[in-house]
Amino acid sequence: MKIVIAPDSFKGSLSAKEVAENIKLGIERVYKGIDAPCIPMADGGEGTVQSLVDATGGRIITARVTGPLLHQVDAFYGILGEGRTAVIEMAAASGLPLVPENQRNPMLTTSYGTGELIKHALDMGCRDIIIGIGGSATNDGGFGVAKALGVKFLDKQGLDIGHGGGSLARLHTIDASGIDKRLRDCSITAACDVDNPLCGPRGATYVFGPQKGAKGDMLEVLDKNLLHYAEVIKEALGVDIKDIPGAGAAGGLGGGLTAFLGAKLQRGIDIVIETVKLEQQIRDAELVITGEGMMDYQTQYGKTPYGVAKIAKKYGIPVVALVGQVGKDAGVLYDMGIDSIFPIADGPMSLDSAMENGARLLQDAAERIIRLYKVAHNG
């Protein structure tokens, strides 16, 4: 018997690796020595670096970079076990939590630090780079990233325009001749789970700007600036990013990565599935156990359990989800490859108590599931 364990993290409680290991401990109470590979998963958002590092035997690298408000911050990224692939969460260098709520202003915030992380990864010998682009504090179209990698953004006087989404109004020319030459040998993939264009009512500014501090007239200014930015990019580089699905992700970073780094935009869960070679592990399994902290109708939009179940169903393998909480309309997942959903709580308890006791609860729930599975298969 082979049971593949491929969960996401239970945020605030356990990493994906810890979730998987505790599920396995519960299974081993019933079947000692079972073939049960633990494959930590993620969907391209927070926790992706840790999950992929854990899944491949890689390592976490720390680096001091420029934060969204131009202060130095301690950021991190991962290098996978094969030593060539870097995994970066842009939020680690340019994320909203790095900006105090009363200082959030996407006219000023920059993605420059994310570019510095890319440069650091290049210095470490990485040539395949995966970038998770959720949780940004910025609305600069990713020009901060490109600037950190050697691209010049100049005004009519030939002077540097500065930083932040507000400075794009002064942009006149782009000089990409100084971009880091090592990027020519790189494959860049951006984990992008939205299809928003760069500009307009569904664009970066109007949809995501308010949570970053944009309001009132600032929204119109920032949106107009991104449109101008796209026009200058088209003139200078011959690349039209304005209407690319996903260009508006992370304050336009999706568009910037496409224009300057030739990045491929791809769903986060698909990137992770490919990177950890999940399909190769699943195809000969008898059962797959996945999970996440909260499962509801949103899980169907590219979250980890949905992606895992999609692979398992190609081979007709049953899928069970262990979850911290069953939320609104989680039942829709029954038609999408998840055969059963088990909350791990074993009685009435507070959220704090459930998170504190997550390891034990996972082990106990996994044991209950496997005992039922054993009965169903005649012992």
Residue 129 confidence (pLDDT): 98
pLDDT tens per residue across span 143-152: 999 999 999 9
Query: Do 170 and 304 fall into the same domain?
Result: no
pLDDT-based confidence at 379, cuts 50/70/90?
A: low
- Does an H or E element contain 33, and which? none
pLDDT tens per residue across span 318-359: 999 999 999 999 999 999 999 999 999 988 888 888 888 899
Count, in order, helices (H) and strands (E) of the chain. 13, 12
> How many other C-beta atoms can be found within 10 angstroms of the C-beta atom of residue 66?
22
Which of 369, 295, 374 shows the shortest CA–CA distance to 327?
295
Question: Which tokens go with 36?
Answer: 């049960």
Query: Do 172 and 207 fall into the same domain?
Result: yes
Distance CA 129, CA 121 (A): 8
Query: Do 23 and 142 fall into the same domain?
Result: no
pTM score, two decimals? 0.91
> How many other C-beta atoms can be found within 10 angstroms of the C-beta atom of residue 42?
32
Query: Do 362 and 221 fall into the same domain?
Result: no
DSSP string, 151-208: -EEE-TTS-B--SSGGGGGG--EEE-TTS-GGGGG-EEEEE------SSSTTSHHHHH
DSSP string, 149-163: TT-EEE-TTS-B--S
250, 268, 286 - which closes a domain: 268
pLDDT-based confidence at 377, cuts 50/70/90?
A: confident
| Beta-sheet pairing, 287-295 with 319-326 | parallel
pLDDT-based confidence at 376, cuts 50/70/90?
A: confident
Which of 266, 314, 267, 312 shows the shortest CA–CA distance to 290?
312
Q: Looking at this protein, which amino acid is placed at residue 119?
A: K
Query: Do 186 and 107 fall into the same domain?
Result: yes
Which of 42, 40, 31 shows the shortest CA–CA distance to 2?
31
Q: What is the CATH number of the domain that holds 155?
A: 3.90.1510.10
- Beta bridge partners, 63, equal 75
Task: Residue 346: give the domain boundaries.
Answer: 3-41+277-376
Query: Do 34 and 107 fall into the same domain?
Result: no
Q: In 209-270, which ranges are E strands?
A: 264-266
Query: Do 304 and 258 fall into the same domain?
Result: no
Residue 353 confidence (pLDDT): 86
* Sheet with 319-326, edge to edge strand ranges: 3-5, 287-295, 319-326, 340-343
| Phi-psi label, residue 150: left if phi above 0, alpha if psi -120 to 50, beta otherwise | left
Query: Do 138 and 283 fall into the same domain?
Result: no
Whether residue 42 contacts residue 54, with contact meaning beta carbons closer than 8 Å, is answered with no
Query: Do 112 and 217 fall into the same domain?
Result: yes
Residue 252 confidence (pLDDT): 97
Residue 238 confidence (pLDDT): 96
Query: Do 247 and 336 fall into the same domain?
Result: no
217, 238, 268 - which closes a domain: 268
Q: Quick check: 60 pLDDT over 70?
A: yes
Q: What is the mean pLDDT of the chain?
A: 95
| Beta-sheet pairing, 173-175 with 187-191 | unpaired
Distance CA 193, CA 306 (A): 13
pLDDT tens per residue across span 268-308: 999 999 999 999 999 999 999 999 999 999 999 889 999 99
DSSP annotation of 95 reads: B
> How many other C-beta atoms can be found within 10 angstroms of the C-beta atom of residue 14?
20
pLDDT-based confidence at 170, cuts 50/70/90?
A: very high
**CA dihedral sign, ordered 123, 125, 128, 132:** negative
Percent residues over pLDDT 70 in the chain = 100
pLDDT tens per residue across span 176-221: 999 999 999 999 999 998 899 999 999 999 999 999 999 999 999 9
Q: Looking at this protein, which amino acid is placed at residue 379?
A: G
Q: What is the CATH number of the domain that holds 322?
A: 3.40.50.10350
**Torsion angle of C-alpha atoms 95, 100, 103, 108, degrees rounded to 10:** -20
> How many other C-beta atoms can be found within 10 angstroms of the C-beta atom of residue 62?
11
**CA dihedral sign, ordered 259, 263, 264, 267:** negative
Query: Do 73 and 176 fall into the same domain?
Result: yes
Question: Which tokens go with 219?
Answer: 């929204």
Structural domains counted in the chain: 2
Query: Do 162 and 220 fall into the same domain?
Result: yes
218, 248, 268 - which closes a domain: 268
pLDDT tens per residue across span 67-110: 999 999 999 999 999 999 999 999 999 999 999 999 999 999 99
Q: In the chain, which ranges are E strands?
A: 3-5, 59-66, 72-79, 85-89, 128-132, 152-154, 173-175, 187-191, 264-266, 287-295, 319-326, 340-343
- CA angle 175/181/187 to nearest 5° reads 110
How many residues appear in the chain? 379
Distance CA 120, CA 116 (A): 6
